[in-house]
Amino acid sequence: MKNLLRKIAVSSVILGMAVIALPALALTADELQAQINALLAQVSALQSQLTVLQGQAPAGSYEVPSGFIFAKNLSSGMSDPDVVNLKKVLDKEVTDHAAWTGTEVFGAKVKAAVVKFQQKYNIGRATGFVGSLTRAKLNALLAGTVTPVTPVTPVTPVTPVTPVSAGLTVALSADTPAAATIVADSDAGQGAQAQIPAAKLKFTNGDASDVKVTTLVFKRTGISADADVSQAYLYDGDTLLAEYNTFTNTLLTFTNSAGLFTVSAGQSKDVTLKFDLTNETASGKTIKFSLESATAVTSNASAVNGTFPVVGNIMSTAAAADVGRLTVANVSGPGASVDPQTGLEVYNFSLAGADQKLEVRKLKFTNIGSTDADDLANFMLYDGGAKIAEVAAAASDKTLTFDLTASPLVIEKGITKQMHLKADIVGGTNRTFQFTVQNMTDIVAYDTQYGIFIKPNSDNSWTPLTCTPASTINVGRLTMTRNSASPSGSVALNGTNVVVAKFDIKATGEDVKITALKARLYGTIVTDGLYQGKIYFDGSQKGSTVNLNSTGTDIAAGDTTFSFGNTFIIPADGATHNLQIMADIKKADGT
């Protein structure tokens, strides 16, 4: 009761303060409701803070050690202290899992619960393997266990809101590009400036529902011709929205019945018109673009408003004989068929610079093969033998983008870079992959001398660069190598459960089932053999205990077969697993 009175008292004080802070203005019903909502949020925050101060655990607490993060992959069959904390999180997030103990063993019940956790949060393919994506979600949940309480500040007076006209209002953005000089190379076929920002437009939605813009028609004016523009685009920041559909009789049209872009109810969106200059465009020309009237904008808005024409600034052309050039070419691919493996070179290509020092700021690739987006992973971009960037996974449309803006790939003039795209093949048996640079905009190159973006391959149009042939992924692959810590030297007579050999084993492409394994033993013990031979996989015994045969030389008579049926499966989880052969150091008859 005392705590309840304290909560009521705190709430009352805050409400009292908030009432005093309200400005003496004539407020609308919506503005009054906004004030009420703000006060209720403050009261809720103070109540949460009071709960924490009184020592009550916040909802969603996972009872893991403070500061703990999941820093390594976890998989079925392994034993690790992190599994204990994994179970604590799963206890909260997966309420219908099978009962387990608090041990460090990642058993079948834990794997089943991880699958449900991955399905709950739509984390890739729900395999039960705790990899980078699953760990990221687990750590995000832990980071959000206790939410700091934002200090309560007095309610400030409501600033009168400038009414927004119903419908879609179009205007130049405050930071629309200024008038500038744009450059083409005066030599035949040697390129021109690309990605030139012509106008930045602000679209403001005054309707109560989202507005979809389906068509924009810009008019070109100035001392120029339509042929002086080789390509045009719409961008939302650095995101390409659309390429133009037609450009005739000074009218540049973008149209898409599904929508060029959408402006949320009550919100604004900035959209930039960019264009590429045609090769060998003469100096002294001028180009500008405008939306001449409301009819130049087609949308589902109740009306289109603005002060028309909405006009961008003038771009004036100049010519130079040494505009930077970037030539991109296919080199090779991995071949018509490949085994599942890690670090495979899936696309080799070259980047050659000329005339000026260049910066490559973005490279985008598309897999046009039949594999799923997650059949290849851990993409790495190499400049020769040096890794310069990596992307963990492809997007759902099977594209991957290396954004090098913060640390561009520099290509001095006259230098050719041999580039390699590498990836791990983690699935996709009997399917194909084939990488391509689909569009001119997939490569962003910058001339550092003139301070302009340039067209790759200096073409007015673009032909996709596709690695050939398409590569088919073979069936799953199992690799096994002697572990560097495999024992050697003397062993103690009559020792039990002694590790006599240790191997690294890894499955790629798909899970691999081992139905039987032969261990060969030979040496001076001749035909007596060793007692109680066992096979252990990641710390757990597989199959039955069998006395080991032996022979004096390396022949089949020294083979002992261990049979596993359907119980021994190596997961294609990208991890290297441990396999050990153990035995008692005494003769097979137990003496």
Spatial separation of the C-alpha atoms in residues 23 and 53, rounded to whole Å: 32
Q: Does position 23 have pLDDT exceeding 60, yes or no?
A: no
What percent of the chain clears pLDDT 70, i.e. is strictly above it? 87
Spatial separation of the C-alpha atoms in residues 508 and 442, rounded to whole Å: 31
Q: Does position 406 have pLDDT exceeding 60, yes or no?
A: yes
pLDDT of residue 7: 41
pLDDT of residue 15: 37
Spatial separation of the C-alpha atoms in residues 244 and 177, rounded to whole Å: 20
Task: Verify cis geometry, omega within 30 degrees of 0, for the bond prior to 469.
Answer: yes
Distances, alpha carbon 223 to alpha carbons 182, 226, 284, 315, 332, in Å: 14, 10, 8, 10, 46
Distances, alpha carbon 337 to alpha carbons 33, 112, 275, 469, 473, in Å: 65, 34, 41, 9, 6
Contact 511/429 with Cβ under 8 angstroms? Answer: no
Cα dihedral across residues 354, 355, 359, 362: positive or negative: negative
**Apex CA 591: angle with CA 580 and CA 552, to 5°?**
60
Q: Read off the amino acid at residue 174.
A: A
DSSP letters spanning 125-193: S--S-B-HHHHHHHHHHHHTSSPPPPPP-PPPPPPPPPPPPSSEEEEE-TTPPPPEEEEEESSTT--BE
Cα dihedral across residues 11, 13, 16, 20: positive or negative: negative
pLDDT of residue 155: 54
Contact 50/2 with Cβ under 8 angstroms? Answer: no
pLDDT of residue 144: 73
3 state SS of 301: coil
What are the residues whose beta carbons fall under 8 Å from the beta carbon of 503, sequence distance 6 or more?
480, 481, 482, 483, 486, 578, 579, 580
pLDDT of residue 255: 96
pLDDT band at 20 (very low <50, low <70, confident <90, very high): very low
Residues listed for the chain: 591
Q: Does position 460 have pLDDT exceeding 90, yes or no?
A: no
- Helices 29-53 and 2-21 pack at an angle, to 10 degrees, of 150
What percent of the chain clears pLDDT 90, i.e. is strictly above it? 57
Listed range (41-45, 117-121, 235-239, 511-515) with the worst mean pLDDT: 41-45
**Across 229-249, average pLDDT:** 94
Closest CA to 294 of 308, 274, 280: 308
Burial of 383 from C-beta contacts in 10 A (0-12 / 13-18 / 19+)? middle
pLDDT in tens, 60-96: 467 888 888 998 999 988 899 999 999 999 988 998 8
Q: Burial letters for 122-137: b for 16+ Cβ neighbours within 10 Å, e otherwise?
A: ebbebbbbbbebbbeb
Q: How many CA atoms does the CB half-sphere of 288 hold within 13 Å?
A: 19
pLDDT of residue 67: 83
pLDDT band at 391 (very low <50, low <70, confident <90, very high): very high
Query: Two tokens at 465?
Result: 């660069």
What are the residues whose beta carbons fall under 8 Å from the beta carbon of 381, sequence distance 6 or more?
363, 387, 388, 389, 390, 402, 419, 420, 421, 422
Q: Does position 252 have pLDDT exceeding 70, yes or no?
A: yes
Burial of 229 from C-beta contacts in 10 A (0-12 / 13-18 / 19+)? buried
Location of structure tokens 């039990």: 496
Q: Which span out of 48-62, 439-453, 567-581 was modeled with the highest average pLDDT?
A: 439-453
pLDDT of residue 352: 95
- DSSP-derived letter for residue 120 is H
Contact 187/210 with Cβ under 8 angstroms? Answer: no
More confident residue, 289 or 569: 289
**Across 88-111, average pLDDT:** 88
**Across 562-575, average pLDDT:** 84
Contact 415/152 with Cβ under 8 angstroms? Answer: no
Listed range (144-148, 423-427, 585-589) with the worst mean pLDDT: 144-148
Contact 552/458 with Cβ under 8 angstroms? Answer: no
What are the residues whose beta carbons fall under 8 Å from the beta carbon of 101, sequence distance 6 or more?
none
pLDDT of residue 273: 97
More confident residue, 43 or 53: 43
pLDDT of residue 58: 44
The alpha carbon of residue 107 and the mean position of all alpha carbons in its chain are separated, in whole angstroms, by 30
pLDDT in tens, 521-558: 888 777 788 888 999 999 999 989 988 888 888 888 88
- DSSP-derived letter for residue 296 is G
Q: Could you tell me how many helices (H) and strands (E) the chain has, helices first? A: 5, 40
pLDDT in tens, 347-381: 999 999 999 999 999 999 999 999 999 999 999 99
Query: Two tokens at 449?
Result: 């001398």
Contact 107/55 with Cβ under 8 angstroms? Answer: no
Cα dihedral across residues 366, 368, 374, 377: positive or negative: negative
pLDDT of residue 142: 86
pLDDT band at 19 (very low <50, low <70, confident <90, very high): very low
Q: Does position 11 have pLDDT exceeding 80, yes or no?
A: no
Contact 393/374 with Cβ under 8 angstroms? Answer: yes
**Across 179-207, average pLDDT:** 92
Which residues partner with 442 through β-bridges? none
pLDDT in tens, 316-341: 999 999 999 999 999 989 999 998 88
155-161 contacts, C-beta under 8 A, 24 or more apart: 155/18, 155/21, 155/22, 155/35, 155/38, 155/39, 156/21, 157/23, 157/25, 158/23, 158/25, 158/27, 158/31, 158/34, 158/35
Average pLDDT of every residue of the chain: 86
Q: How many CA atoms does the CB half-sphere of 344 hold within 13 Å?
A: 21
pLDDT of residue 361: 96
pLDDT band at 59 (very low <50, low <70, confident <90, very high): very low
pLDDT of residue 169: 96
Spatial separation of the C-alpha atoms in residues 272 and 316, rounded to whole Å: 19
pLDDT band at 154 (very low <50, low <70, confident <90, very high): low
